[in-house]
Amino acid sequence: MRLLQAAHNLVLCLGSLAMLLGTLRELARRGASEAPAGPLGRASFLFCERPDAVAVGPLYAWSYLYYLSKYYELLDTVLQLLKGRPPPHFFLHVYHHAVVLFMAWSWCAYCQSLQWGGLLFNTAVHVLMYYYYFRTVLKLPTPWKRLVTQFQIVQFGFSLLCFLVTAALLATGSACAGTGALAFNLAFNVTLLLQFFGVLGKNDARSGGSKKRRE
């Protein structure tokens, strides 16, 4: 079971890296082909997708692959339960995996604005997170657990900042695709941000208690 979990985590780590690099490449290509528009110039599509956009082409292919990868991630829960115990922070684990499926689907279904910022940051987080899990399963030294949670918090904070840019564009009359899906995504990110702050606090309390016992 340990080797199976290690292989699963390594697949997700390398898969996340491939999606990160592939999306960066296609974003650079699209940015180079975009006509400058609005105050953000060629980068406008990153924050405000055209309302007539259609989810086709290599860039949206990465979004769709990201969506499919969320089904594979469900094995996280299955493998952990097969070991005879639920994953740590079980409610957050199940909530995140369940809702993110709908979120990723809505990216493609509604050509949601801001989706590529979320894809880039989330795949970057997953490269670090699944590498951490890979090493943990193999019982290799992993003294940087706190960094993973901190990176996740930064991810959701960054998402909120990007939303403010999109909100400013909408307020000044820009028409952006998938604003309903974006509102749902924003609410989801806020709930995750609050829950990850709770996880960080619990982890700090546990590590503080462990230090006191050692003293």
Contact by Cβ (8 Å): 161, 92: no
pLDDT for position 175: 94
CA distances from 117 to 27, 76, 87, 100, 157 (A): 10, 24, 28, 15, 12
Q: What count of Cα atoms within 13 Å lies in the side-chain half-sphere of residue 85?
A: 3
The catalytic residues are 96
pLDDT in tens, 9-46: 999 999 999 999 999 999 999 999 988 877 888 999 99
Residue 204 has pLDDT above 80, yes or no: no
User: In the structure, what pLDDT confidence band is assigned to residue 91 with cuts at 50, 70 and 90?
Assistant: confident
pLDDT in tens, 117-129: 999 999 999 999 9
Residue 93 has pLDDT above 90, yes or no: no
pLDDT for position 85: 78
Nearest Cα residue to 102 out of 92, 114, 110: 110
The residues, ordered by sequence, that sit 6+ positions from 149 with a Cβ below 8 Å of its Cβ are 196, 199, 200, 203
Q: Which residue has the higher pLDDT, 199 or 79?
A: 79
pLDDT for position 115: 96
pLDDT for position 193: 83
Instruction: Show me where the domains of the chain are located.
Output: 2-201
pLDDT for position 205: 64
| pTM score, whole prediction | 0.88
User: In the structure, what pLDDT confidence band is assigned to residue 211 with cuts at 50, 70 and 90?
Assistant: very low
* DSSP per-residue codes, 53-111: --S-SHHHHHHHHHHHHHHHHTHHHHHHHHTTSPPSSHHHHHHHHHHHHHHHHHHHHHT
The tokens describing 131, both together, are: 């590498």
Residue 212 has pLDDT above 90, yes or no: no
The one-character DSSP state at 42 is G
The tokens describing 50, both together, are: 């055209």
pLDDT for position 36: 82
pLDDT in tens, 141-200: 988 888 888 898 888 889 899 999 999 999 999 999 999 999 999 999 888 888 877 777
Residue 214 has pLDDT above 50, yes or no: no
The residues, ordered by sequence, that sit 6+ positions from 164 with a Cβ below 8 Å of its Cβ are none
